[in-house]
Chain A
Amino acid sequence: DGGITQSPKYLFRKEGQNVTLSCEQNLNHDAMYWYRQDPGQGLRLIYYSQIVNDFQKGDIAEGYSVSREKKESFPLTVTSAQKNPTAFYLCASSDQHHAYEQYFGPGTRLTVT
């Protein structure tokens, strides 16, 4: 059963703590993406990676970090430097021939208090 998994579905953290969100795909896609969605808003790109061991900042990378050590995995760390971390985080992937046709995981809803 191919797809993108994100865990956990809901995550609660105290302010000042770093937290890592998991994203795994078994679609053999080369590219992976992290987006953030706030209530009533569209998606904003945080980071993206076109190949293993390489990634680029998106529009709102400050306060976030990523790694891409394996093709299947693209974890996102929300650091204590991110001023407003509470949001719905979405991971997506696409293959190299259809980079813009992105398929999303179920998302992680992060609440920081």
Chain B
Amino acid sequence: QKEVEQNSGPLSVPEGAIASLNCTYSDRGSQSFFWYRQYSGKSPELIMFIYSNGDKEDGRFTAQLNKASQYVSLLIRDSQPSDSATYLCAVTANAGGTSYGKLTFGQGTILTVHP
């Protein structure tokens, strides 16, 4: 089983719809969760992070975390063509010691928003 697994894509949604991106992780000790957006040929850009169970909203983006189910998701409301990119989920290794700062990434989900 992969340590961090994202829903297989590509995901295609019409402009204005809600895009839902999902991620599961295997390490129960993980404390922090991140979503990065990566445009084709570019480097990843941090767009959201969440540390506590529940929802965290930032503009059109909402991150949802359920540690009991080891599940984190990203919702993009009112999707725009400019949201078309690969979305990477990243999870921390167990806190402390030499793992500090170490992230494990999922394989990414390609999102296409069509007009």
A positions within 8 Å CB-CB of B = 31, 33, 35, 40-45, 48, 50, 56, 58, 90, 94, 99-107
Contact = CB atoms under 8 A, between A and B. Distances in A.
Interface in B1-47: 4, 32, 34, 42-46
B43 A100 contact: no
Contacts, number: 54
Contacts of B42: 106-107
Contacts of A106: 42-43
Contacts of A44: 105
Interface in B58-115: 88, 90, 92, 98, 100-108
Contact of A42 (B34, B102, B106): B106
A40 to B, nearest CB: 7
Of residues B42, B90, B105, B107, which shows the largest number of chain A Cβ atoms within 10 Å of its Cβ? B105
Nearest to A33: B101
Interface residues of B, number: 22
B106 A100 contact: no
Q: Is the interface of A mostly helix, strand, loop or mixed?
A: strand
B41 to A, nearest CB: 8
The 6 closest A-B pairs by CB, nearest first: A42-B105, A99-B101, A104-B43, A43-B105, A42-B107, A107-B43
A56 B98 contact: yes
A105 B49 CA distance: 19
Given A44-B105, A58-B102, 12 more contacts: A40-B107, A42-B106, A45-B102, A99-B101, A101-B34, A101-B46, A101-B49, A102-B103, A104-B44, A104-B45, A107-B42, A107-B43
Contacts of A101: 34, 46, 49
A40 B6 CA distance: 12
A54 B101 CA distance: 14
A31 B101 contact: yes
B88 A42 contact: yes
A7 to B, nearest CB: 14
B29 to A, nearest CB: 14
